[in-house]
Amino acid sequence: MDDKYIIDRVPVRKTFGQYTKLSADGSFWWGNCPLCKEEDNSFLVSTINKQFYCYACKASGNAIDFLVQLNSISSTAARQELINTWGIHVPCEPGEVLNDLAKKFGPVLKKLAKT
Ligand SMILES: [Zn+2]
């Protein structure tokens, strides 16, 4: 699963809106930056490319990058937080499915091989 899969499914304005009050300006939203706590509406969120940029502290990126910087967490934790918050359906990786099958049927196959 890549970041884009998650970002595509995250409601951008609502995600950033949890941390700062955003005002609409076309497809852009402006607010005070939750990262550097400035109060000049330097925080820009684009609903088109789903990125943020702060003109004060120059922080930028997507919702995952934002949570990493805001909460000092790993990108894995940030991804998981977005998945949980927005109930994003995460498809199983093909490798995981095979591993599950091997775990389930491995012992049975071993038994069969012995008989
Ligand atoms: Zn900032």
Predicted confidence at residue 4, as pLDDT, reads 93
The per-residue pLDDT string of the chain (115 residues; one tens digit each, 9 = 90 and over) reads 689 999 999 999 999 999 999 999 988 999 999 999 999 999 999 999 999 999 999 999 999 999 999 999 999 999 999 999 999 998 777 677 677 788 888 888 888 887 7
Predicted confidence at residue 61, as pLDDT, reads 98
Span from the CA of 82 to the centroid of ligand 1 (angstroms):
21
The residue assigned the tokens 């095979």 is: 98
Spell out the domain ranges in the chain: 3-114
Could you give the CA distance from residue 13 to residue 99 in angstroms, rounded to a whole number?
Answer: 38
Cβ < 5 A residues, ion ligand 1? 33, 35-36, 54, 56-57
Predicted confidence at residue 109, as pLDDT, reads 81
- The structure's pTM equals 0.78
Span from the CA of 86 to the centroid of ligand 1 (angstroms):
25
Cβ distance 30 to 44 under 8 Å? yes
Predicted confidence at residue 102, as pLDDT, reads 82
Record the tokens describing residue 91, joined without a space. 């498809």
Span from the CA of 23 to the centroid of ligand 1 (angstroms):
16
Predicted confidence at residue 114, as pLDDT, reads 79
Predicted confidence at residue 78, as pLDDT, reads 97
Judged by DSSP in three states, 87 sits in: coil
CATH class, domain 3-114, is: alpha beta
Judged by DSSP in three states, 52 sits in: strand
